Structure 1
């Protein structure tokens, strides 16, 4: 049995890490620097080259890599599969070009420094890879992971993780003579690739069909801690399997998150994982700082300084050029290149493996590892300096930063200046109503100048921006943005923080309308309802129907549609975690019983109609106040049957 002294021996390192984080990070944040830099410097101070409070940097890094694993899991949770598919051009095209060009350029510099071609290749690839943890942390701090340049940067990082298997398979080939073991290398590479593909397919199948039932069973037990344990089990288990077949643990965790992105338990899992992710990621950054050999840096300070600056500038120049080639504006290209400039975590894997295989000699390997660590230390500083420079330029170019709002006394706060918001503002300003408009699309802000409107650059999903925009004093908050999730988030923020403000909301379809009704908004309009009704009324008039009768028909359809919407809200609740299933359940149905059945002109059409014709619908179950409300609306709309309906309106 372990003694009390054995247990106590674990406490000093833990307390040292916690103290370094608590002291170092706030200091750098007060100085306006990134938290990443605070962790890195704290690691240098407590590591073997500093105060030697922690002497085993490798052990700390092996544990702290779990922080990167959990970070990628949360990123996967927030990324829909459809968006990942839409990024395939950036992942395969931009990712391949970035890795290849940076590896060739940096390898060329290494050869100029006296390394052999094989050693220069390993060093070039190791430095061409970017620091996933640093880049994602910087993007999170900027709140730009969802921005176009953030998505492109993430696509490159994802491709780099996918390429690790091929890179690790390449190293034995570089170590061989190229004649005696080529066939054996090819067989091993094919076997490793097959194992990786099989593991990914197995993970996809288990995640698709097994995880939701698994979490539902655990949730039924009511034990919160079991759900947390299950979340960690899924993440770490998938990461371990992927590492076993040659992929990175981070790639496995990302895959697990992606598989759970549409799960009913997505938000619960994110909340359970977040505390572990933050602490372990900080430990990872400190372990990188601990790996910097200050004695080696002092001995070769001039060469390492020049190499660090050259590597960062070279990677930045290449990535800027590629971003521009793929359509990014200059500012986005610079910001994306800045977060990708530091060398990556895999440099601490590839370079030691290259040393074990005899490709990179000991002294060159140590210098390359020190160079990689220095780029991770200097990179966040360069990114922060670039942010400050761009912020100054943006302000001077009449492109204000978030939160810079001159007047917050308007009666109406409008969020979104797209095609819907523009017409709304025309009406309000024609009546002389004071309006504050915010939008996070720079192009919309530029176009507002032609209207004579003052539109502020702000993100409506941020509480601090809403406060600065006068949300607490506004009589009405009009939400006119396209993104359904962001719309619902803004509704929740306004109701929680500004209860006196009324919420008027533009929604896209019936599913989002019911979501907004469940949040008790004061007024909502589906995007195409009124325009479609007006179009239908004009069509009837063109067919000879009197204007008054056509208006009555349109009004009748409007009432019936509203009644059905209320009945749908009061009936079977929507599956908010899976809107696709909700859309399948809410199918288009006629508001008025057709006078005759549909008939097919061909046998193929008849087969389609037969497959699509549903069984008679069951009455919607309503009870309590919701049922009374639904019945009242139904009476006003003349005997409406509670049939489900969905349309683009």
Structure 2
């Protein structure tokens, strides 16, 4: 007889499902409004509806099942995004670094437990629990922040992969630690079987699955494609689980296999909504485990355990990443990512409970103490995640400072012969590939970098390198910015790129600046800051830089396009020196390639609104080749052609001619980060400042300024430059001191009272008080805020 559900009856499981989904949605929304990441909201939702809260969830097996599905889908998507090629590149990090991290953590925790009288069996078991970090949380946060491919992200993922592999051995050893009999032969057979199934997945499935996805995709049925992807994920996880390997690792391997197919992005887009739903369930399930009563009653004990665990994880992860040769900033950031205890520790804890093992060997206290410390460490991870990148940045700056102190000061004469060259600011992944193309094309270039490792690598390859902060005018002046044809900023954080572009544009209005950005919004901000072009894509960023540089050196467009298409077909590998035996572009460079520059006419520039005849180009030894305006090109323009803001003009002339004519193209706000010897612009004298309204500076904490403690909300003391008003003089722009409220004129003004005030008082930070300008400037650190 078929089952019939009576009208109005509610299945018991539906109450718990509704409670989970509703609580997750509501609490996550509140967390988002409060500025917390959703993962914290999911954990809080679990606490709210769990045994310590409203007790709406009473079937832990149902929740565990949904959570397992969430972890499988999460690791599957991470595998799709990671790819086998990336995995191969960090194999030493996985096996050497991961082995050091797990082994060192286990040994250190076990040693501390033994010192406090804990038996060796529960001591080693506790070490196993602490050695594991949260694959689900870390990979989720790395993906959300777009940092999976960074050095620190790869360091964290590499160690997590080894931890998932180590779970196999730990699960096999737990019965032995509990007093059971496990022979060496049984252990060897289990590990051999696990290794064989992993090889099978990576070798055999890699050959079978891409053709299978091809056939399924040709049906044009989204339902069939989604079902096939789910079947691959769960089927591979099940097959790997039969061999005793973690099913989560099986799902990750399935994702790696799918990543080899050209339908990987299609698969990711189809499965992402399911992954979001079930991974949210996982984080809720973790919150369900927390015993709030125990936590409150034993707050000191829980916090002590938490501090000990975090300190040990920071130390061992840092050592492990350094052992494989990664830089100190990368090791520190990776350590911060992995400072929590992971979800597989819950599984291991349950396995130990079945054979009589408890954390710290403390019956009745060990398990709830371990769970409380673990849940709190997981909840703190999303809050600590933004600090990983900041910590790495600070350490890089300090390292660069130490390296600079140990290195002789740059010799200005070493770069004096450069003219019409490209300045490559930074030496990251994209910069390395761009430099490879420039080197083979015969285009002169110089590299400026803060990274000691990058500088040594470039110097070892015989390239011209200047160590220093390329957001500072002295460094840019040393590398010949005023004589350069182009400046490229291909790798950096958005804030650093913005500062570099602003400073470089103020120093040289004729150099062409090309930069990369993560998003279109960031690209638009860079253009506003002075970049001629900002490219906001991944592969296209490198190709765009390549295209722009070669076009400025008058390589034939058809030739550039042919090479770009070849590079697109080969992805990034075609840019790598190990793959390209010789550069893909061979340019026939003559004087015409170097004697022209593209200049963007900006609002407020002296040339804006004037004709070419007004500019007296012949006297300045310049000539206009063409004007690009709103998609139209005017070639060989006559003297009557007027220049408007937004025009892109191709000028011909010598490097010195462009230096001498810089005043024509400098905008009225270029005095912001510029040196004090800039020529004065047309002055304004009418007082306009509101002396009753406080001025606030929203300083970027990552800008590199060490004097932010001097920044306060101030009220301007006068309606204009204090000294100019008293003397009846004129000024150009105004700056307000963020320590005392003094108003002074800028360095483009005749008297430069803002800088004079700094020298007289030592107050280091000033802010522009011009309409629509909110930037600040630290005189001592020479950085824009």
Indicate whether the TM-score tops 0.5: yes
Contact 2:489 2:515 (C-alpha < 8 Å) held by counterparts: no
Cα drift, residue 106 of structure 1 = 2.0
Q: Is the contact made by 1:44 and 1:290 (CA closer than 8 Å) also made in structure 2?
A: yes
Distance in 2 of aligned mates of 1:16 and 1:430: 65
Q: Is the 8 A contact 2:514 2:545 kept in 1?
A: no
Counterpart secondary structure, 1:163: helix
Cα distance, 1:334 vs. partner?
Answer: 2.3
Question: Which of 39, 43, 68 matches 2:42?
Answer: 39
In the alignment, what sits opposite 1:440? Answer: 492
Matched, 1:222 2:220: yes
Equivalent-residue separation in structure 1 for 2:559 and 2:35 (angstroms): 38
Contact 1:94 1:156 in 2 (8 A): yes
Provide the residue aligned with 1:463 in structure 2: 520
1:151 aligns with 2:206: no
- Confirm or deny that 1:66 pairs with 2:74: no
SS of equivalent to 1:143:
coil
Pair 57,28 (structure 1): closer, same or farther in 2 beyond 3 Å? same
DSSP-derived class of the 1:145 partner: coil
- Tell whether the 8 Å contact from 2:80 to 2:258 is kept in structure 1 after alignment: yes
The residue correspondences of 1:297-446 to structure 2 (distance < 5 A) are 297-360=295-358, 362-363=363-364, 364-384=366-386, 418-419=434-435, 437=489, 439-440=491-492
User: What is the match of residue 54 of structure 2?
Assistant: 51
1:337 counterpart SS class: helix
SS of 1:469 mapped into structure 2: helix
Paired residue for 2:265, among 264, 267, 270? 267
**Cα offset for 1:467?**
2.5
Q: How does 1:232-251 map to 2 (within 5 A)?
A: 232-251=230-249
* Correspondence 1:102-181 to 2 at 5 A: 102-176=105-179, 181=181
Offset at 1:155? 0.6
Q: In the TM superposition, what is the alpha-carbon distance from 1:171 to its structure 2 partner?
A: 1.3
Q: What is the distance in 1 between the residues matched to 2:395 and 2:30?
A: 27
Q: Does structure 2 retain, via aligned residues, the 8 Å contact 1:74–1:257?
A: yes
Q: What is the match of residue 511 of structure 1?
A: 566
Aligned-pair CA distance for 1:476: 5.1
Q: CA deviation at 1:211?
A: 1.5
Cα distance in 2 for residues equivalent to 1:503 and 1:61 = 59
Superposed CA deviations along residues 25-75 of structure 1, whole A, max 9, x for unmatched, are 233334333322221122111211112222334431331122221122122
| Between 448-457 and 132-141, the greater mean CA deviation after superposition | 448-457
Note if contact 2:515-2:535 (Cα within 8 Å) is conserved in structure 1. no
Alignment of 1:532-547 (within 5 A): none
Structure 2 CA distance for aligned equivalents of residues 110 and 118 of structure 1: 10
Q: 1:512 to 1:124 in 2, by over 3 A?
A: same
**For residue 189 of structure 2, what is the aligned residue in structure 1?**
191
**Which residue of structure 1 aligns with residue 200 of structure 2?**
202
Three-state SS of the structure 2 residue aligned to 1:439 is coil
SS at match of 2:82: coil
Q: Deviations over 1:588-642 (max 9, x none)?
A: xxxxxxxxxxxxxxxxxxxxxxxxxxxxxxxxxxxxxxxxxxxxxxxxxxxxxxx
Aligned to 1:596: none
SS in structure 1 at match of 2:261: coil
Q: CA deviation at 1:202?
A: 3.5
Change (3 A) 1:28 1:397: farther
SS at match of 2:147: coil
Contact 1:175 1:358 in 2 (8 A): yes
CA deviation string 1:198-226 (max 9, x = no partner): 43343335422321232222223221111
Shift of 1:169: 1.2
| Offset at residue 262 of structure 1 (A) | 1.7
Q: Structure 1 residues 514 and 169 mapped into 2: Cα distance closer, same or farther (>3 Å)?
A: closer
Could you tell me whether the CA contact under 8 Å between 1:95 and 1:156 is conserved in 2? yes
CA distance 1:474–1:87, shift in 2 (3 Å): closer
Q: Secondary structure at the match of 2:148?
A: coil
CA distance in 2, matches of 1:261, 1:375: 32
Task: For 1:379 and 1:198, locate their aligned partners in 2 and report how far apart those are by CA, in whole Å.
Answer: 35
Aligned partner of residue 517 in structure 2, secondary structure: coil
| Conserved 8 A contact 2:328-2:395 | no
Q: Is the 8 A contact 1:484 1:508 kept in 2?
A: no
Report which stretch shifted further, 313-322 or 470-479.
Answer: 470-479
Match of 2:717 in 1: none
State how 1:583-598 maps to structure 2 within 5 Å.
none
Q: Which residue of 2 aligns with 1:292?
A: 290
Does structure 2 conserve the Cα–Cα contact (< 8 Å) formed by 1:128 and 1:315? yes
Structure richer in helix, relative to its length: 1
| Cα distance, 1:219–1:169 mapped onto 2, change above 3 Å | same
Q: Summarize the Cα distance change of 1:85–1:306 in structure 2 as closer, same or farther, 3 Å threshold.
A: same
Unaligned runs of 5+ in 2: 402-423, 447-478, 547-556, 572-581, 591-785
Change (3 A) 1:172 1:487: same
Distance in 2 (alpha carbons) for counterparts of 1:472 and 1:229 = 48
**Which residue of 2 is the match for residue 600 of structure 1?**
none
Kindly state the Cα deviation for residue 447 of structure 1 after the two structures are TM-superposed. Answer: 11
Q: Residues 478, 466 of structure 1: CA spacing in aligned structure 2 closer, same or farther, 3 A cutoff?
A: closer
Q: Distance in 2 between the 1:34 and 1:456 partners?
A: 36
Bigger radius of gyration among the two: 2
How has the CA–CA distance of structure 1 residues 486 and 244 changed in structure 2, closer, same or farther, with 3 Å as cutoff? farther
Contact residue 43 and residue 290 of structure 1 kept, 8 A: yes
SS of the counterpart of 1:351?
A: helix
Asked whether the equivalents of residues 126 and 350 of structure 1 are also in contact (C-alpha less than 8 Å), the reply is yes
Aligned to 2:737: none
Kept in 1, the 8 Å contact 2:40–2:382? The answer is: yes
The total of aligned residue pairs comes to 496
User: Where do 1:4-19 residues align within 5 Å?
Assistant: 4=6, 8-19=11-22
Aligned pair partner of 1:212 in 204, 210, 213: 210
Is the alpha carbon distance of 1:56 and 1:323 closer, same or farther for their aligned partners in structure 2, counting shifts above 3 Å?
same
1:543 is matched with none
Instruction: Please tell me whether the aligned partners of residues 60 and 287 of structure 1 are also in contact (alpha carbons under 8 angstroms).
Output: yes
Show CA shifts across 1:572-593 (max 9, x none): xxxxxxxxxxxxxxxxxxxxxx
Tell me, in whole angstroms, the C-alpha distance in 2 between the residues paired with 1:504 and 1:335.
43
Report the equivalent of 1:531: 586
Instruction: Provide closer, same or farther for how the CA distance between residues 478 and 155 of structure 1 changes in structure 2, counting only shifts above 3 A.
Output: closer
Hey, what's the Cα distance between the residues in 1 that align with 2:88 and 2:139? 20
Q: Tell me how far 1:94 sits from its aligned partner.
A: 0.5
Q: Whose strand proportion is higher, 1 or 2?
A: 2
Q: 2:376, 2:558 → 1: CA distance?
A: 50
CA 1:457–1:384 in 2, change beyond 3 Å: closer, same or farther? farther
